[in-house]
Amino acid sequence: MNGGATSTALEAFVRLGVLDAERAAALASRMPAPWWLAALQAVAAWFASLLIIGSFFAPLYFLFEGAIGRVVAGVVLLAAAIWLFGRKHLFTEQMGLAFSLAGQALVIAEIAGVVADPWAAGSLVSIAGMLLAAGMILPYSTPLHRTVCALLVWTHCGVLIGRGSALSVYAVALVALAVAMWLHRARWSTSRYAAQTKALLHAGTLSALVGAWVMSHEATRMALQSVGAVTAWWPTLYAAGVSLVLLTAVGWLTRAAAPWVRVWCMLTAGLYCLAAWNAPGLMTSAAILLAVFQACHRPWIALALLAALLYLGEFYYSLHISLLAKSGTLAATGLLLLGLRAVLRRAA
Amino acid sequence: MPWSVRQIGQLLQLAEAGELTADELRRAGQHAPLEPVRETWLRAADRLLAFAGVLLLTAAVVFFFAWNWADMHRFVKFGLALAALTACTGTAIAGTPYGTVYRAALFGACVATGALLALIGQSYQTGADIWELFLAWALLMSPFVLLSRSAASWALWVVIANLALTRMLWQTTLFGFFGDLFKAGPLLLVAALNLSVLLAFEAFESRLLVAPRRHLQRLASLGVLAPLVAGGIVGWWERALLPVSLVFLVVATTGAWVYYRLRRDLVILSLALFASIAVATAALVRVLPDSADFLLMNLVAMAVIVGSAFAAAWIVRLHRQGSSL
């Protein structure tokens, strides 16, 4: 975490002829901010953007009578954010992040205010928010800003879908998208839109893991149920979907293995899906964990494990099955994992 | 020799940032595949499956006792809980000392200890508060934690010890003078507990852990700073919390100096810096006139942006210095 590990990696690249020493030194001086620092910066920018939004609301209400003027002010903030990112300095980038969040919030708040029907307003806000956030991913900005915007895109998309089984399908689609993109990381990493793809992937992975947690969170489930957003099919559809994603991921990862190894791996994955059927969050975490390990993304490996732990905590309180059934589910998955380990050791 | 997981991650990260060309990445791929090799998969699976399997099994035991099966005699339940604990300790004894199985089994013993204590409370309706359960759990699992020298077991111990202390401060009548948690005494006590953990790991990490990686120090530093920041912010308005603000000042300054000069740890240094920005921002809000006008709110926002940008710039520079060849 002090850059020493990075130094060792760059030295290895030079030694093995991937880079020359001069180029490696240049790369070392341009290393991006580590993820934990980006997270702290995001919190600071979020707080600053709240203050900026708060400060802009009152004068805007005095200056402009209609919503159009205030929307224009929001767009000006967004344009300022893009300009600030273009300066490529840490200070202006941090300011750009706060301006972008404030501008997006200002625009969609005004759009929500002009439509009387709450359902229509909700849809309009989601569409506008999604388009705005997607638009802000495109121009040059920091990875943190792009990821926050991508997170807004996925969230608005979920809100737009709103209710019923479609939301379950959307949650599965996010898991599938995240797994597929991580498995092919080496392919798209040098593409022209790698930075944008990366932001969408990081936000999609986070949304997929949070989605699994939300599926179990009792208060959220009840809140969604009260507005008719949850159907009886929701848990089954989600469990079936993520099982399919996990099986596909295992099949893809073992594509070059001997047929009997492949069949054995698929069989084990199938058994795991059956054992964890009542705890689909464990399947989601497993699928994402396999994919991020294949992609060699260490922070996401840790986050996928943490998500599984948090899911387990939430699983205790969910009311969809009894504690005895939950205990059986966990015992079966635990035994299966220990059995798998024993077999792997013997095979190795 | 294949690339390590860290090296592949590094290469792909550079490529995604546009710093590495497709040709350079292809050359790296020619040297060795840009994905984990079979041995890497097996090594990771060995550790993960052992810990995850044990965790799920012991969690199953906890869930089972929480079900509170009325028809099952309590002695049978005790027998099951003790069997789980014995199985874990027995597996550890049979395993290679400090090997994966040994550490995973002792981690399981830590969780099973909690399940057994919860069962005793449930069966005999001891009337004990939840903090007493957590305290007994933390104490009784300590030998397993010390023997295991595993980061997972220590992390569990830190969480349980914090839960015991915070729950005690929240509800106990014995320590009624604390009233509730959000007062100077409780906040300082929580910080002190985590500070002692931090100091213990700084001094004896190689003896407490098989593979020291500084995760525990970072977890403990979060435990030190979180209550102090909360108290430090409110301290500008509540005189009773002023001591917390002062302690925060001392701890953040000392911590920043130690983790910059003596033992470079950029994560803890960043936490100290951003925590200081939060407390300083609260101070700025406190001294400004008591009105939410356009200029003042933007002034505070700018202060946050400038402070966090300078802090980030410095940390990134230190990070890059560590990366330079």
pLDDT tens digits for B221-245? Answer: 999 999 999 999 988 888 888 889 9
* B253-284 pLDDT per residue, tens: 999 999 999 999 999 999 999 999 999 999 98
Best to test chain B binding among A6, A10, A343 (most B CBs inside 10 Å): A6
Question: In this predicted structure, what is the pLDDT of residue B309?
Answer: 86
pTM of model > 0.95: no
Average pLDDT, whole number, for chain B? 88
Cβ <8 Å between B15 and A189: yes
Average pLDDT over residues B32-47: 92
Residue B294: which of A12, A59, A348 has the nearest Cβ?
Answer: A59
Name every chain B residue with its beta carbon within 8 A of the beta carbon of A94. Answer: 305, 308-309, 312
Question: In this predicted structure, what is the pLDDT of residue B229?
Answer: 93
Name every chain A residue with its beta carbon within 8 A of the beta carbon of B17. Answer: 32, 143, 195
Instruction: Determine the residue type at A290.
Output: L
Helix (H) or strand (E) holding A290, with range, is: helix A280-294
Question: In this predicted structure, what is the pLDDT of residue A295?
Answer: 96
Q: Is the pLDDT of residue B322 over 80?
A: no
Average pLDDT over residues B14-33: 87
Cβ-Cβ contacts under 8 Å between A and B: the total is 262
Q: Is the pLDDT of residue B175 over 60?
A: no
Give the torsion through C-alpha atoms of A254, A257, A263, A264, to 10 deg.
-90
Name every chain A residue with its beta carbon within 8 A of the beta carbon of B271. Answer: 40
Q: Is the pLDDT of residue B177 over 90?
A: no
Nearest CA in chain B to A42: B308
Average pLDDT over residues B5-21: 88
Name every chain A residue with its beta carbon within 8 A of the beta carbon of B293. Answer: 55, 58
Residue B304: which of A10, A48, A189 has the nearest Cβ?
Answer: A48
Report percent pLDDT > 70 for chain A: 89
DSSP assignments along A54-109, one per residue: HHHHHHHHHH-SSHHHHHHHHHHHHHHHHHHHHT--HHHHHHHHHHHHHHHHHHHH
Name every chain A residue with its beta carbon within 8 A of the beta carbon of B264. Answer: 2
Low-confidence spans in chain A with pLDDT less than 70? 1-8, 57-58, 60-66, 116-120, 163-164, 217-218, 225, 227-232
Question: In this predicted structure, what is the pLDDT of residue A191?
Answer: 92
Question: In this predicted structure, what is the pLDDT of residue A49?
Answer: 77
Question: In this predicted structure, what is the pLDDT of residue A135?
Answer: 95
Best to test chain B binding among A62, A190, A329 (most B CBs inside 10 Å): A190
Q: Is the pLDDT of residue B126 over 80?
A: no
Return the HEC string of chain B.
Answer: CCCCHHHHHHHHHHHHCCCCCHHHHHHHHHHCCCCCCHHHHHHHHHHHHHHHHHHHHHHHHHHHHHHCCCCCCHHHHHHHHHHHHHHHHHHHHHCCCCCHHHHHHHHHHHHHHHHHHHHHHHHHCCCCCHHHHHHHHHHHHHHHHHHHCCHHHHHHHHHHHHHHHHHHHHHCCCCHHHCCCCCHHHHHHHHHHHHHHHHHHHHHHHHHCCCCCCHHHHHHHHHHHHHHHHHHHHCCCCHHHHHHHHHHHHHHHHHHHHHHHHCCCHHHHHHHHHHHHHHHHHHHHHHCCCCCCHHHHHHHHHHHHHHHHHHHHHHHHHHHHHHCC
Residue A7: which of B28, B66, B322 has the nearest Cβ?
Answer: B322
Of B34, B31, B30, the residue nearest B9 (C-alpha): B34
* A201-248 pLDDT per residue, tens: 999 999 999 988 877 766 777 777 676 666 667 778 889 999 999 999
* A292-320 pLDDT per residue, tens: 999 999 999 999 999 999 999 888 888 77
Name every chain B residue with its beta carbon within 8 A of the beta carbon of A296. Answer: 5-6, 8-9, 12, 34-36
ipTM rounded to 2 decimals: 0.86
Q: How far apart are CA B45 and CA B39, in angstroms?
A: 10
Q: Give B86's pLDDT tier (boundaries 50, 70, 90).
A: very high
